[in-house]
Amino acid sequence: MATESQQKTPSPRGLEGVVAAQTAICKVEDNLLVYRGYPIEQLAAKADYEEVAYLLLNGDLPTRDQLRDFKAELIKHRALSPFLRNILQEASENGTPMDVLRTVVSASATEDPAEGDNSREAEYQKSVRLTAKMPTILAAYMRRRKGQQPVPPDASLGHAANFARMAGLEHPRAAEILNVCFILQAEHGLNASTFTARIVAATNADIHAAVTAAFGALKGPLHGGATDGTMKMLEEIGSPDHVDSFVEKGIERKFLFPGFGHRVYKTEDPRAKFLRNFARELQKDWKGPRYFDIQEKLVDAIAARRPKMSPAAAAKVNVVNVDFFAATTYTFLGIPADLGTSIFAVGRIAGWSAHIMEQHGDNRLIRPESEYTGPVGKRYIPIAER
């Protein structure tokens, strides 16, 4: 007779296909991304990031007065305290971008007036403060590692334009393009970092603890690090003429092509087309290597070889994801490739915060079971007999 553990159906690897939570924030399906009922195509083409952040945190788009007040709150909380500025300066000496962001965000809990308060109103205010400070933290880090002094926030500028100015980005389209990037990356369902945030929130830990954990998950290259890997790959290829041989050798050695593949999207990542357009347009004025041309040929070369791959190998290169063209878009704007994941986090902070509030609004501790595969029936042997 089968035991209870033998009768249980093992979970799929990586929990693929398992529904772990209900949410009203975001819907993700193949070639479909919807924030609280609004298709990403409409938001990315028409909205300001502040509107989308408000949407995620409040449930619907703001009225004109609500948006005015929300922007005023963000502006009010952009500046960093002397305490956080000092931590940022010290951490920037040797820390990676994600390490610095995670550390400063975690430290901000110690001075937050609502620390430990998980009420809806308190968490909403903390979400606003975190969303406001993220561009300031990253821009200050970017300047410090170049040996420059931070630039204070400008109350006359919007979220993306203020970041572009503080970060020293001189491209005339930087603010416009980063606004869209922040929107595209603001939310994406139960991805690894968001799931991590909800697991931590489910213990009734506060929003700073949950967001700090999300940063840790996003740092992993299988979740948020593909922009850096994509640029390293393009630099290694060097020229469109080298693409075919690179792909052949890559398939031979089972190389994981950065920027390719997605667990949910099977035919198209709806975010990628926006970044592809930006990369194509920005390359026209770019004086360096023809990275976008390499990308286009790389996409075609891999697509041509997919029918001959095993199903498992083909699934890993089924689509280009948001990071693939984000890598070149950021590069063309003058943003180093290793900052791509941090740009991602600046947009995603609103989505993380929305999920943490949703989890706390109807909470139950997330505690799945595991399937034991180790030995059984062993007998303890005293140390003298081993």
Residues with catalytic function: 262, 323
Burial class (CB in 10 A: 0-12, 13-18, 19+), 201: buried
Name the token pair of 133. 């400070």
CA distance 188 to 271: 10
Asked if 233 and 225 touch (Cβ cutoff 8 Å), the reply is no
Determine the Cα–Cα distance for residues 293 and 326; give it in Å rounded to an integer: 15
DSSP letter string, 163-195: HHHHHT---TTHHHHHHHHHHHTS--SS-HHHH
| Residue 32 φ/ψ, nearest 5 degrees | -145, 125
Q: If you ran DSSP here, which 8-state letter would residue 29 be given? A: E
DSSP conformation class of 203: T
**CA distance linking residue 270 with residue 320, whole number of Å:** 10
Under 8 Å between Cβ of 43 and 33: no
Residues near 282 by beta carbon (within 8 Å), at least 6 away in sequence: 171, 173, 177, 292, 328, 329, 332, 333
The tokens for 54 are 């408000």
Residue 4 has a CB neighbour count (10 Å cut-off) of: 6
CA 80/CA 39 separation, integer angstroms: 34
DSSP helix/strand/coil, 34: strand
Give me the phi and psi of 322, to 5 degrees please: -60, -30
Beta bridge partners of 260: 320
Give the angle subtended at the CA of 141 by the CAs of 78 and 54, to the nearest 5°: 35
Phi, psi of 88 (to 5 degrees): -60, -45
